[in-house]
Amino acid sequence: MVTVDDEQIWIDQAKAGDSSAYRMLVERHQDAIARLVSRLLGADHPGIDDVIQDVFVRAYFALDRFRGQAAFRTWLTRIAVNRCRDEQRRT
């Protein structure tokens, strides 16, 4: 079982450039983010996998701005919601 402390260690390591630590964060949250994106865009939305991947790419490049005031999943969820809104405006 992964604890909040484990996750914080992965966040700190990912911020320091450890790609395997970031991969652990992705693996921990990918199912929840995929379900959220599917609900927001519809499971039959074309390119849904690209949207999900883009959420994690955006999170990676914004990781230095994660302050830890909210849970990592909450922060990641906000990125996913914003990305879905962008996608809905685009289509």
**Per-residue pLDDT tens digits for 10-45:** 999 999 999 999 999 999 999 999 999 999 999 999
**Is position 1 within any domain?**
no
**Is position 45 within any domain?**
yes
Looking at residue 1, what is its pLDDT?
A: 77
**Is position 80 within any domain?**
yes
Exposed / middle / buried, residue 20 (Cβ in 10 Å: 0-12, 13-18, 19+): exposed
**Is position 4 within any domain?**
no
**Is position 23 within any domain?**
no
What gap in Å lies between CA 25 and CA 61, rounded to an integer?
A: 14
Range of the domain at 45: 29-89
**Is position 16 within any domain?**
no
**Is position 10 within any domain?**
no
Structural domains in the chain (count): 1
pTM: predicted TM-score of the whole model, two decimal places: 0.92
Instruction: Report the CATH number at residue 59.
Output: 1.10.1740.10
**Is position 44 within any domain?**
yes
